[in-house]
Amino acid sequence: MVEQAVIERLQADSLKTALKMCAVDMDVVVHESIDSTNSWSLQQIKAGKDVPFACFAEEQLQGRGRRGKHWHMAAHSNIAMSLVWSFSLSRQPLHLLPLSVALAIVETLESFNFKQVQIKWPNDVYVRGKKIAGILIETQPLKNTAKGEYHVAVVIGVGVNYDMSSIEKNELQYLPDFTDILDEIKVQAVGRKIGRALVASTLLKCIVDVCQNFQENSKQYLEKYRTQYDYCKEKNVDILLDNKEMLTGIAQGVNDEAELIVMVDGRKRVFNSAEISVKTTKGKGL
């Protein structure tokens, strides 16, 4: 008789326990199956649910990525979560938030001794040159709580590849080169078992920590990205613009607004919204 693998389920109470060090009291929900954690969170905001809160999904049927991309997640395989946090736009401009959240994912992975972790602008996390996580940030207006203050509820959606072994062969052609937690444990010889629940709780804590300290530390987060984790810098990149125009150049890092700087045909161009593909060969400079 073949012994079946034990399925590790996420537990809301355990996830909340991980937040004790953050000194924040928030609702955490785990759905057995859901269309999208971001969609559910946006609906809850409209219904008046108290912010902050977080939700996770054991199975996600219509996960959404940037530019309308879909991410189907088989049950009990990966990590799909959304954290909702309130920000004041008058005091906390959000252009640095995607890279800051990406650093929270980096911190999570490095806490398990993973090496070669980098961030691909604007919101993907790579390990050894392969995608392991992505971010989708959406906003919903909140009622003003003070004169001159404009608050928004920010939905921070994160997907982390924990076990991608269930991906069908016909799906591979639509996916970037990817890796997952289980593969990295083997390849990097981490030497310890890292359960999906531990990854989820650590991830939640790290993202909450970034949100709590974002106003004071956002510029430090940007500098940390620039100096340690920029995957694209000095590499040849293809840039797909919103109007479907394709450009090619050499990435030069980001400016203070977290916009991508690319040398295209001998001229510096700045992009705040684009789809970036990194070529395998490194750029030769200017």
* Angle of CA points 198, 202, 204, to nearest 5°: 120
CA dist 103 → 32, 95, 107, 124, 224 (Å) = 28, 14, 6, 10, 8
- Computed over every residue of the chain, the mean pLDDT equals 87
Residue in the block written with tokens 């990525």: 65
52 pLDDT more than 90: yes
Per-residue pLDDT at 61? 83
71 pLDDT more than 70: no
68 pLDDT more than 60: no
Residue 20 is inside which H or E element, if any?
none
| Residue 145 confidence class, pLDDT cut points 50, 70, 90 | low
| Residue 11 confidence class, pLDDT cut points 50, 70, 90 | very high
Side-chain-facing half-sphere of 136: CA atoms under 13 Å: 21
Structural contact between residues 59 and 75, judged by C-beta atoms closer than 8 angstroms: yes
Tokens of 183: 């593969």
88 pLDDT more than 80: yes
Output the DSSP codes for 101-112.
HHHHHHHHHHTT
- Measured CA to CA, the distance from residue 141 to residue 94 in angstroms comes to 14
Written in H, E and C, the secondary structure of 112-172 is CCCCCEEEECCCEEEECCEEEEEEEEEEEECCCCCCCCCEEEEEEEEEECCCCCCCCHHHH
106 pLDDT more than 80: yes
Per-residue pLDDT at 121? 95
Q: What is the mean pLDDT of residues 117-121?
A: 97
| Residue 1 confidence class, pLDDT cut points 50, 70, 90 | very low
Residue 280 is inside which H or E element, if any?
strand 275-282
Residue in the block written with tokens 């797909």: 240
Helical packing angle, 97-110 and 196-224, nearest 10°: 130
- DSSP-derived 3-state class of residue 235: strand
- Measured CA to CA, the distance from residue 39 to residue 27 in angstroms comes to 17
Per-residue pLDDT at 170? 47
Tokens of 268: 């510096």
In this predicted model, what pLDDT tens digit does every residue of 236-260 receive, in sequence order? 999 988 888 899 999 999 999 999 9
In this predicted model, what pLDDT tens digit does every residue of 175-231 receive, in sequence order? 668 999 999 999 999 888 999 999 999 999 999 999 999 999 999 999 999 999 999
Report yes or no on whether pTM surpasses 0.85.
yes
- Measured CA to CA, the distance from residue 202 to residue 111 in angstroms comes to 9
Sign of CA dihedral 42, 70, 128, 258: negative
Q: What is the mean pLDDT of residues 127-138?
A: 95
Q: Which residues pair with 158 in a beta bridge?
A: 81, 135
Which residue segments constitute the domains of the chain, with CATH numbers given? 12-229 (3.30.930.10), 235-282 (2.30.30.100)
| Residue 93 confidence class, pLDDT cut points 50, 70, 90 | confident
- Measured CA to CA, the distance from residue 216 to residue 92 in angstroms comes to 9
The candidate with the shortest Cα–Cα distance to 249, out of 219, 279, 221, is 279
